[in-house]
Structures are given as C-alpha cells and as structure tokens.
C-alpha cells in the first residue's frame, strides 16, 4: 500500500505536492468516492481518479536523448512539427514519456525524458539547483570582462541570473568566434542565449553537454538510451538533497 498522493505522482499526472493540493480541493476520487484528506493509502486494486479521469499506473522509465536540432522539446505539437518524443516512438517506446524541461528548437544535446512526474518536478524546481552544462559557440572573442560578468550573474531585466561557472574553451580569430563552457542550475526561457547577448556575444550554436552528471557520450543526434538504475537513484539523491537539508534546518532552529 502507498499514500494516495504518491500513487498520483507516480502515474505522471503531477508532482506529489500538487497531488496533495488536488486531494484537498476534492478533485480526487478513490473507488468512486471523493477523498479530500491526506494520509489515505491505496493499493493497485483501487480505482483512483483525478478530475474524473482514471489514472494509469505504468512502469516508470527514464531515457537520455541526444536531442538534434530541428525538433521541439515536447510530447506533441499543435503545428505538426517534429517533437523529440517522435525519436523514441519510432524505436518502439510505448510509454507516455515527457521531456524534463526544454531545449530550444535549434539547441542540441542532453535531454532527459520520463513518465516519472515526481522526479521530473524535482529536477526542474530551481530550489534544487541541478546543474546543466552547455558548450556555447558565440560571436566575437570573449574577454575576461565578459567572463567575469557571467560568473557574477547578469541582470536580464525580468530576473538576475545566479552566478555561473564559466570556462573559455577556445577562440577562433579567423572566424571571429569563441567557445565557452558554462554551467548553470536555472532554466529560464532562452537563458543562456540571453546571457551571452547581454555581454554582446550572441550565440551561434548551443549544445547541452550534461544534465546533472548524465551526458550523451556515444549517442549520435536523435539516439537515446535508457538510464541505469543507479543513475536514476543518484538523480533522486541530487534532487532531494537541498530540500532535506532545508527541512533539517527548519526543524533544528
């Protein structure tokens, strides 16, 4: 038996915390009866409905794909453009997996897909500070002043970025371009591109090399692999460490 909110989260419908909100709001039924108090435990024989829709429990799966350029980081697209999930479907993946966060249409590299809603929400929550490493090819020769601005954090108007780890990889004077490796833990829309525009070095090419400790080594664009059990466990550890540490401090003080 498992707590109702955990079962809902495992189904991929939403996170555990949002599942608790749905229960309190009377949006959840168990065996036809509305449940609005937390703590109820259910089995796989119980009928659980969220917003009058039966939830389907399926095996949790986890993939990493080397996302190619020219596709949308989504499960489907109303404009009938190619989506990243199409690559998994074409190779026989039947589970309804969703990308964890997004990469732009023209951005390539490491993207996790899963039907584990709880883990996906933990990984995407900015509080948990999951690192993402990008290799940027940008216009112009980036100097120490520009690198220092990225390391300090940049005011983009609507928000200020957290300090980033930055490494100048190479410069190409003939083509007036630089390669910079940058590590951030935020995931704002177009964030890396906006950061480089802010230091007057627009991005020409962007590739995510690593999500947390997961890379796409050995995978060609469009290829993917299933994550190993120990990798999934380690992602959970990373995604819950700061939350547990914060809760400990609250209880202690």
- Distance between CA 149 and CA 178 in Å, rounded? 16
Catalytic residue among 44, 78, 80, 104: 104
Which 8-state DSSP code applies to residue 23? H
Q: Does 131-211 match 62-126+214-230 at the fold level?
A: yes
> Hunting for tokens 């350029």 — which residue is that?
69
**Calpha distance 175→179 (Å, rounded):** 12
Which pLDDT band holds residue 249 (cuts at 50, 70, 90)? very low
- Residue 88 — very low, low, confident or very high, per pLDDT cuts 50/70/90? very high
- Could you tell me the residue ranges of all domains in the chain? 2-54, 62-126+214-230, 131-211
Q: How confident is the model at residue 246 (pLDDT cuts 50, 70, 90)?
A: very low
pLDDT band at 96 (very low <50, low <70, confident <90, very high): confident
pLDDT range class, residue 59, cuts 50, 70, 90: confident
Task: Identify the architecture of domain 62-126+214-230 in CATH.
Answer: 2-Layer Sandwich (3.30)
Segment 2-46, tens digit of pLDDT: 889 888 887 767 878 888 999 999 999 999 999 988 889 988 788
The yes/no answer on whether domain 131-211 falls in CATH 3.30.70.1560 is yes
Q: What is the pLDDT of residue 253?
A: 35
User: Is 80 designated active site?
Assistant: no
Computed over every residue of the chain, the mean pLDDT equals: 91
How is 77-130 classified by DSSP, letter by letter? Answer: -TT---BTHHHHHTTT--S--EESS---TT-EEEEEEES-HHHHHHHH-GGG--
Contact 201, 146 (CB under 8 A): yes
pLDDT in tens, 135-162: 999 999 999 999 999 999 999 988 999 9
DSSP symbol at 228: P
Instruction: For domain 2-54, give its CATH number from 3.20.20.70, 3.10.290.10, 3.40.50.10860, 2.60.120.200.
Output: 3.10.290.10
Do the beta carbons of residue 171 and residue 192 sit within 8 Å?
no
- Three-class secondary structure of residue 204 per DSSP: strand
Evaluated on CA atoms 184, 189, 193, 194, the torsion sign reads negative
Q: pLDDT by residue (tens digit) across 214-242?
A: 999 999 999 999 999 999 999 999 998 76
Rounded to 5 degrees, φ, ψ at 183 are -115, 120
Residue 74 has pLDDT above 60, yes or no: yes
Q: What percent of the chain has pLDDT over 90?
A: 71
- Give 30's DSSP letter: E
């Amino acid at each position: 038996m498992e707590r109702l909110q955990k079962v809902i989260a495992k189904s991929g419908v939403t996170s555990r915390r949002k599942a608790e909100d749905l229960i309190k709001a009377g949006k959840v039924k168990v065996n036809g009866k509305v449940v609005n108090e937390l703590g109820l435990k259910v089995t796989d024989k119980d009928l659980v409905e969220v917003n009058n829709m039966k939830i389907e429990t399926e095996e949790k799966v986890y993939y990493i794909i080397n996302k190619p350029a020219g596709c949308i980081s989504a499960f489907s697209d109303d404009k009938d453009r190619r989506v990243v999930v199409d690559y998994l479907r074409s190779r026989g993946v039947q589970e309804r997996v969703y990308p964890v966060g997004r990469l732009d249409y023209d951005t390539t590299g490491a993207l996790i897909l899963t039907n584990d809603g709880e883990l996906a929400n933990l990984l995407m929550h900015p509080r948990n500070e999951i690192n993402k490493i990008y290799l940027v090819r940008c216009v112009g020769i980036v100097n120490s002043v520009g690198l220092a601005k990225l390391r300090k954090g940049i005011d983009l108007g609507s928000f200020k970025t957290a300090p980033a780890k930055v490494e100048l990889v190479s410069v190409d004077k003939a083509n007036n371009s630089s390669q910079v490796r940058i590590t951030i833990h935020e995931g704002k829309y177009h964030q890396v591109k906006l950061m480089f525009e802010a230091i007057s070095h627009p991005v020409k090419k962007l590739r995510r090399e690593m999500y947390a400790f997961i890379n796409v080594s050995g995978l060609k664009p469009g290829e993917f692999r299933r994550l190993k059990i120990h990798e999934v466990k380690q992602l959970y550890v990373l995604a819950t460490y700061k939350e547990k540490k914060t809760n400990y401090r609250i209880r202690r003080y």
